[in-house]
Structure 1
Amino acid sequence: MRRFLRDNSLTLAFLVGFLVVLVAQAFAGQAEFNSQLVSEGLEPMGFRSYVTSSDFAVDVTENWQSEYLQFFLYIFGTVWLVQRGSPESKELHRIGVESDEEQRIGEHAREDSPRWAADRGWRGLVYSRSLGLTMGGIFLLTWLAQSVTGVAAYNEQRLRGLQDPVGWGRYLASADFWARTLQNWQSELLAVASMVIFSVYLRQRGSPESKPVGSPHHATGVEG
């Protein structure tokens, strides 16, 4: 068990942190939502009712979709785009999908390579892009979930104000949907750009996200 925890400590630590923050968000969100309800002369909502409400769901899913968009764009973008001096970039001469030999595909696969890496058919084609496709798929699903929960939360707010609800298609063209979406997208894009350029000149000893402390600024694709 101790070895399992050590070997998977990075994933487990972030998952535990995710659950702690999600619960904290639920309590904070309930307090804020109930404050709004009370100000409108309505009864406050219990915790269980709040965490199963569209208001909580849309807040969660809009953050998830932006995070997975970030990973999707970064994974595919780094195939063709580079940043001189950054460990977040691959080496400047390796732009593109690289050769089968470099990627250990087909007859170049080794004994310890994943089984589908040696397949020259659709399995190998899909597997060679499976990480980006998975991130892109999760992004689309969470964006869809955001739109569904968002229109429900939006209509609840309209009904409290004695306004008619709107349909899903109309909501997709609304300012509320795009304000929720774009405020997350811009922050994710800025965060990635900052990480890429800061890692050219700054260091974090022992981290694979940083170059070794003594590496020159122009060293590219080198991890510590």
Structure 2
Amino acid sequence: MRRFLRDNGLSLSFGAIFLGTLALQSLAGWKDYNEELLAHEDAPIAYGRYLYSSEFGAAVMENWQSEYLQFFLFILATIWLLQRGSNESKELDKAGLESDQEQRVGKWAGPKSPKAARTKNLLFHLYANSLLLVMGAIFLASWFAESVTSWTVFNAEQIDHRQSAVGWDKYLTTPDFWEKSLQNWQSEFLAVGTMAIFTVYLRQRGSPESKPVGAPHEETASSG
């Protein structure tokens, strides 16, 4: 058990933090939503019902879709784009998909390489792009879920204000939808961009997200 915890400490820790913060978000959102209901002289709802509501779904999904969009674009961009001195960049002479030897595929695959890396067929090409494909799929799924839940909330507000409900396709053209999406996207892009620059000049001893403390600023793609 101790070895399992050590070998999986990063994923287990962030999994626990995720569940804890999601639970706290749900409680805070439930309290806030009930306060809004009471302010409009409506009856508050139970916590369990709130968890299945579009209000909670929209609040969660609008953050999820922006996170996975960030990862998708960053993974794609770092194939071709470089940043001198950044720990987040590849070495300056390795832009692109790299050679089979560098990627250890085909005849260069080792005895412990995944089976999909050994033969160039459809499975190989899917596996070679699997990280990007999965991140993109999660983004699209969460974006769709966020659009549907936000659309439901938007129409409920429209009806409360004695205005007409709109179709899902019409909602996708509204400022309400894009303001929610863009406010999350811009913060994610800011975080990624600043991280790429910060790792040129700043250090954190012992972290693989930083260069070694004594590494020159221009040293690229090193890890401490």
**Bin for the TM-score computed over the shorter chain:** over 0.9
Q: Matched residues in 1 for 2:101 and 2:201: separation? A: 32
Q: How does 1:19-168 map to 2 (within 5 A)?
A: 19-168=19-168
Counterpart-to-counterpart distance in 2, 1:194 and 1:114: 34
Aligned residues: 224
Distance 1:54 1:162 in 2: 20
- 1:58-94 deviations in Å (ceiling 9; x for gaps): 0100100000001101111000001100111010000
- C-alpha RMSD of the superposition: 0.8
- The amino acid across from 1:62 in the alignment is E
Q: Which runs of 4+ in 1 moved over 6 A?
A: none
Counterpart of 2:93 in 1: which secondary structure? helix
**1:111 is aligned with what amino acid?**
P
Amino acid in the other structure paired with 2:169: G
Give ranges in structure 1 of 5+ residues lacking alignment: none
TM-score of the pair, normalised by structure 1:
0.98
Shift of 1:107: 1.1
Q: CA deviation at 1:44?
A: 1.3
Letter in 2 for 1:131: L
Task: Quote the Cα distance in structure 1 between the aligned partners of 2:217 and 2:31.
Answer: 48
Summarize deviations over 1:27-85 as a string: whole Å, max 9, x none: 11111111111111111121111111000000100100000001101111000001100
Instruction: Show structure 2 runs of 5+ residues with no match.
Output: none
In structure 2, distance between residues paired with 1:50 and 1:123? 42
User: How does the TM-score come out when normalised to structure 2?
Assistant: 0.98
Letter in 1 for 2:91: E
Q: Secondary structure at the match of 2:45?
A: coil
SS in 2 for 1:93: coil
Give the Cα–Cα distance (whole angstroms) in 1 for the partners of residues 103 and 25 of structure 2.
42
In structure 1, C-alpha distance between the alignment counterparts of 2:35 and 2:157, rounded to whole Å = 14
Task: Identify the residue that residue 215 of structure 2 maps to in structure 1.
Answer: 215
CA shift, 1:148, in A, is: 0.9
Q: What amino acid is the match of 2:54?
A: S
- Please give the alpha-carbon distance, in whole angstroms, between the structure 2 residues aligned to 1:146 and 1:70: 16
What is the identity percentage for the equivalent residue pairs of Structure 1 and Structure 2?
53
